[in-house]
Amino acid sequence: MVHVVYQKEITYEELAVEDGIINFCKAKNIKVIEIWGSTLYHKKDIPFKTDSSINDIPNTYTQFRKAVEARAKVRQVLSMPDQLKPLPPGVFIGEIPTLSELGVEQVKKDCRTAFPFPGGESSGLGRLKQYLWETRCVEKYKETRNGLVGENYSTKFSPWLAHGCLSPRMIFSEIKRYERMEVSNKSTYWVIFELLWRDYFKFVCLKYGDRVFYKTGIFNKKLPWSQDMKKFQAWAEGKTGVPFVDANMRELKKTGWMSNRGRQNVASFLVKDLGLDWRLGAEWFESMLLDHDVCSNYGNWNYAAGVGNDPRQNRKFNMIKQGMDYDGKGEFVRLWVEELRAIKGAKIHYPWTLGTHELAGVHIGETYPRPMVVPPEWKRHFGKNKKNKSKIRTAPRPRTGQRGIQSCYQSAKKGGGKRSGRGRVQDNRWGPPGPST
């Protein structure tokens, strides 16, 4: 007998695909087996009810985390079989088509990318081994996780998690093994902390259904959003005139990757400084991110917009202070905003305030845009160099010889209702304080 096995999903479009599979298999007399495997903690093991009629998932992450950590256990990773049984007679594997056969143009990888890795399980397992056992970068994760340049400031596990190439339980298992054999500290725990954030957004979507996609968010909060497409296009293209925002948006467009720190800032700029509809940003991220995860992305945009799981609804990031804190020498901006490279030091974060000599040939409004907005709170950070110090520590160098080997939507219905505008191309979890894996 032939069985079809798939991992159970949560949100509307994914559930629609599952319904199509079920109906097709039913007509062909094929048995369908659903498994729950996308979260670190199985939904049957957490101390909350998660069915459609009664769902008591807390509305704050801290309450959820403390209860889960105290009262639930992560299931063990299942061992892979040495070999699989042969296919039934008459079933042929076929061949996976190449990108060119599918009509997809091969895109050249940008050498500046912070995510230079190929996809697939083997690559994901290789990255897990590299980040833990070969480089020991996991030991400094909490200190380096807000970085912007390079492949080792964060785990970069999120694309493999989003596509099912790595399971959160596999990562958890390796972290625990590392803690037993090498080091257990705040950084090793923090990777698990971030995996639990990823779980939380999935359970929030299970609780609120399609409300996570609506303008008013999961808490039905009505705010006066704009849909000025000219402003949105400037944001999406990285042409806002605010270098820290532009550098992050250009990195996303060129590589499909953006750091957790960058995601928090560009989201805050879109919704709090420009006042644009948060769904525009969520859909852009969905269409561009290599590590797009429906629940994490839309949950985080709810969070950033003040219509979701954020106990501090007035949270707003200061683009100049953030740039000075996390890119104190301007190296990240200089990497992506090429027209500003001649400007020295941290002054690159506020070029519109500089004189002709300091601009070094840059013409504001001509070779680089004027800033779309300049909120008054930014001004107190102009001219502050911070002595070129940033909050980011450098990731440890690799070691050798170590022991052992991260737009418009219809009425809300839980698990149902149609939404439009969703593309189909974390940092797992990026909105709340602390970065994604």
Three-state secondary structure call for residue 413: strand
Q: Is 301 a catalytic residue?
A: yes
Q: From the candidates 248, 260, 300, 302, which is the catalytic residue?
A: 260
Q: Give me the DSSP letters along 143-185.
A: HHTT--SSSSSS---HHHHHTTSS-HHHHHHHHHHHHHHT--S
133 is catalytic: no
Say if CB 406 and CB 171 are below 8 A apart: yes
CB 178 within 8 A of CB 404: yes
Active-site position among 235, 257, 278, 284: 278
Q: Catalytic: which of 133, 160, 190, 197?
A: 197
* Catalytic option among 143, 194, 251, 283: 194
Per the document, the length of the chain is 437
- In the chain, the amino acid numbered 327 is D
DSSP lists the bridge partners of residue 6 as 34
339 is a catalytic site residue: no
Interacting residues of 72 by C-beta distance below 8 A, sequence separation 6+: 41, 45, 46, 47
Distance CA 221, CA 211 (A): 11
Catalytic hit among 14, 225, 339, 352? 225
Q: Which residue has the tokens 């999406």?
A: 236
Please give the DSSP secondary-structure letter assigned to residue 6.
Answer: E
167, β-bridge pairs: none
**Residue 194 bears catalytic tag:** yes
Q: Is 225 a catalytic residue?
A: yes
Active site residue 160: no
Residues serving a catalytic function are 194, 197, 225, 260, 278, 301
